[in-house]
Amino acid sequence: RDVTEVIPNQLLEKLMMLLDPLSILRCASVNKRWRSVAVTPRVWHNLCKLRWRMRTSISRHRVYSCKSWVEVYRHLSKKLRMPKGIYTGNRTRVFATGRCNGLDMWVSLSHRPDCSLLRKPHEGGRMARVRITIQNTRNSKVWIPTKSTDLGLVALQKDGYIQAAIARQKPQRTLRNGRSIASMISEASKTDIGSLEPKVIAFNGSPVDCGMGDGVLLGPLDFTVIQAHMDASTLTFEPEFLERLVEIQISVELPYDIENFEEKIPLSGHECKLRKNWRRVEAKAKFKDDREIWKHYSMLPGGCMYLNDMDVLRDHERQQREYY
Could you read off the pLDDT of 77-113 as tens digits, one per residue?
999 999 999 999 878 899 999 999 889 999 999 998 8
Q: What confidence score (pLDDT) does residue 44 get?
A: 93
Task: Identify the band that residue 5 occupies on the pLDDT scale cut at 50, 70 and 90.
Answer: confident
Write the CB contacts of 18 (distance below 8 Å, at least 6 apart in sequence).
Answer: none
- Determine phi and psi for 110, rounding to 5 degrees: -90, 105
Residue 19, classified by CB atoms within 10 Å of its CB into exposed (0-12), middle (13-18) or buried (19+), is middle
Q: What confidence score (pLDDT) does residue 113 get?
A: 87
* Mean pLDDT confidence for 231-250: 92
Task: Identify the band that residue 312 occupies on the pLDDT scale cut at 50, 70 and 90.
Answer: low
Q: What confidence score (pLDDT) does residue 181 get?
A: 38
Q: Rounded to two decimals, what is the model's pTM?
A: 0.81
Query: What average pLDDT does the structure give for the chain?
Result: 80
What are the pLDDT digits (tens) for 26-85?
888 888 888 999 999 999 999 999 999 988 888 888 888 889 999 999 999 999 999 999
| Among 140-149, 200-209, 226-235, the least confident range | 140-149
Q: What confidence score (pLDDT) does residue 182 get?
A: 41
Q: What confidence score (pLDDT) does residue 323 get?
A: 47
Assess whether pLDDT exceeds 70 at residue 260. no
* Mean pLDDT confidence for 199-209: 89
**Selected residue with higher pLDDT from 168 and 249:** 249
| Among 113-122, 219-228, 280-289, 313-322, the least confident range | 313-322
**Cβ atoms of 205 and 86 closer than 8 Å:** yes
The candidate with the shortest Cα–Cα distance to 130, out of 52, 241, 292, is 241
Q: What confidence score (pLDDT) does residue 129 get?
A: 93
Please report the sign of the dihedral spanned by the C-alpha atoms of residue 291, residue 296, residue 297, residue 298: positive
Q: What's the angle, vertex CA 273, arms to CA 272 and CA 275, rounded to 5? A: 120
**Selected residue with higher pLDDT from 140 and 170:** 140
Assess whether pLDDT exceeds 60 at residue 212. no
Q: Say whether 162 sits in a helix, a strand or coil.
A: strand
What is the radius of gyration, based on Cα positions, of the chain?
23
Alpha carbon distance, N-terminus to C-terminus of the chain? 59
Q: Say whether 308 sits in a helix, a strand or coil.
A: coil
Q: What confidence score (pLDDT) does residue 173 get?
A: 42
